[in-house]
Structure 1
Amino acid sequence: MSAAAVHPGTWLRGLAQSCHPLPSLAVTAVAVLLGLGNGLDGPRTTLLGAAVLTGQLSIGWSNDWIDAGRDRATGRTDKPAATGRIPVRAVALAATAASVATIVLSLLLGWFAGVVLLLSVAGGWAYNLGLKGTVWSGAAYLFAFGALPIGVYAATPGEPWPPWWVPVVSALLGFGAHFANVLPDLRADAETGVRGLPHRLGPRAGVIVMAASLATASVVLGLSPAGASALYSTVVVTTGVALAAATTVAAIRAPDSAIAFRLTVAIALLDVVLLIAAA
């Protein structure tokens, strides 16, 4: 489909779909809430949100731009660039524009905060550019999500360093998110030769690793924050481990069932809420 044949409204809808909106908004919301919880004022919170959002948009758009041919080969009807609803070059231009925007906005928060936030974005781009097809695919998520809260803390007054457990929990959540994002597409990816860590482990082991990563985040969240009560620690650790055990059982019994995936979503939501509240 030519660029001239595409209606502007279709372009906007296609770009909105191609940016991976839910993950982009979720990551931005967590960053903003962490910033607010650590003393960021309104203007800097807005700047932080814009910097993180444009970075996430650049990652989402670059994913659909780089993978357009692969998505077309596997018949992905949910990918506008692959189906021709918008030109691939439009997604490429959007990714480039978002990249420029996130560089400018991130550095306006200060050199250290800006560089760390941009390193987080670089981790997402590295995944899209090739790490997704290697055994190191999870490392990109560990790095990107681990760096993000460091950048958020650095943007707050005094450029403090976060408690050690904050980037650790964030990295574990990112690692779990990697499996959650890839597991539904294992068959389609196999057709085009993508063999990241989740593909090599397979659906059953992949769900177990995902649950274990999120459960470990729960344990760290339960035991590490200063001043945490014994009751808080017991409830958080017990809940996280129990949900992970249930996920493991469900994955072993029926690896293709949605039950295990839903349980991991419950663990992830619990961990995100606790991270925001405790950080």
Structure 2
Amino acid sequence: MTPLLRAAHGGPAAAVVILALLLGVAEDLAPARVLLVGLAVLAGQLSVGWSNDLLDARRDRAVGRTDKPLASGELSERTVQVACVLALVAVVPLSLACGWEAGLVHLVLVASAWTYNLGLKATAWSWAPYAVSFGLLPVVVALADDDLPPWWVPAAAALLGVGAHLVNVLPDLDDDAATGVHGLPHRIGRRRLPAAATAVLVLGSVVVTVGAGFTPVALAALGVVAALAVVALTGRGRTPFLAAIAIALVDVVTLVAAR
């Protein structure tokens, strides 16, 4: 992966774009509409990722984050600033091209993600942008088809977002604490964090199962999640972390399949 893509958090950005595309297919959007939604989400995620690394550059240098292109000197701040502005400018017409309702909701989604970068990450409300942005993603996709999803879809997506936040921060707890970042995961603590993330993700699975009407697929997925939850709560080392990620992946698949 090129330094510019790494600075944009290419992996997580791609995951969100793929989720949006899968939701679009599940929503029976026309292929061109699915592509348009994907491009809008991509532009938004790139702006969020680049702004995150720009705002964290000083902190990343302080803790020696050699995996961060800005901190290691692989990229200049000017390059990332230009890329971030271009992505932010592009997200407006791309979003509105999906329909003005879908576009406005997507712009709220992107603004919510930016609030995390701009300061909420260091507060007890660090979970809120994840809940709002993930929760709104299926709403954006449905509105692109002049529709609204049932209540349980954004609810499950919001829980998935919070769970993803708790899991994602786990490897960076020490570096964050050393530079004054004390979000919700840091306040929960390393020892209790895997259990908290597991509980949130399992709750998301339950919401999907109930909302989907206890379909065989949802019930089977819930069984898999239950088994993974046991592993997450009893495992040692990186096992709880990996099990929580697996639960998140099962939640994503079940959510898309339930649509």
Could you tell me the TM-score, scaled by structure 2's length?
Answer: 0.96
Kindly provide the amino acid, as one letter, of the partner of residue 240 in structure 1: V
Residue 163 of structure 1 aligns to a residue whose secondary structure is: coil
1:48 to 37, 54, 77: 37
Residue by residue, what CA displacement relative to the aligned partner does 1:233-274 show, whole Å, maximum 9, x if unpaired? 543333323322331223xxx4xx100011111111111111
Residue 71 (structure 1) aligned with residue 71 (structure 2) = no
Equivalent residue number for residue 118 of structure 2: 129
In the TM superposition, structure 1's runs of 4+ consecutive aligned residues that sit over 6 Å from their partners are: none
Equivalent residue number for residue 103 of structure 2: 114
2:222 to 219, 237, 244: 237
Query: In structure 2, what is the Cα distance between the partners aligned to 1:174 and 1:92?
Result: 27
Structure 1 unaligned regions, length at least 5: 1-11
Equivalent residue number for residue 142 of structure 2: 153
Residue 270 (structure 1) aligned with residue 255 (structure 2) = no
Alignment of 1:22-101 (within 5 A): 22-101=11-90
Residue by residue, what CA displacement relative to the aligned partner does 1:21-68 show, whole Å, maximum 9, x if unpaired? 111111101111111221211211111110001100111000001100
CA displacement at 1:136 relative to structure 2: 0.2
Query: In structure 1, what is the Cα distance between the partners aligned to 2:232 and 2:92?
Result: 40
Residue by residue, what CA displacement relative to the aligned partner does 1:142-180 show, whole Å, maximum 9, x if unpaired? 011001110110001xx1110111101111111111012
Query: In structure 1, what is the Cα distance between the partners aligned to 2:240 and 2:124?
Result: 23
Residue 203 of structure 1 aligns to a residue whose secondary structure is: coil
Identity level (%): 48
Query: In structure 2, what is the Cα distance between the partners aligned to 1:13 and 1:263?
Result: 29
1:205 to 173, 192, 206: 192
Equivalent residue number for residue 165 of structure 2: 178
Kindly provide the amino acid, as one letter, of the partner of residue 6 in structure 2: Q
Kept after mapping to 2: 8 A contact 1:221/1:236: no
CA displacement at 1:184 relative to structure 2: 0.2
CA displacement at 1:89 relative to structure 2: 2.1
Query: In structure 2, what is the Cα distance between the partners aligned to 1:17 and 1:233?
Result: 35
Equivalent residue number for residue 225 of structure 1: 212
Structure 2 unaligned regions, length at least 5: none
CA displacement at 1:232 relative to structure 2: 4.0
Kept after mapping to 1: 8 A contact 2:217/2:254: no
Equivalent residue number for residue 3 of structure 1: none
Residue by residue, what CA displacement relative to the aligned partner does 1:180-234 show, whole Å, maximum 9, x if unpaired? 21110011111100000001111121111100011111111222214x43x4454
Equivalent residue number for residue 194 of structure 1: 181
Q: CA RMSD in A?
A: 1.4
Query: In structure 1, what is the Cα distance between the partners aligned to 2:131 and 2:35?
Result: 26
Kept after mapping to 2: 8 A contact 1:34/1:276: yes
Query: In structure 2, what is the Cα distance between the partners aligned to 1:233 and 1:96?
Result: 41
Equivalent residue number for residue 18 of structure 1: 7
How many equivalent residue pairs? 259
Residue 116 of structure 1 aligns to a residue whose secondary structure is: helix
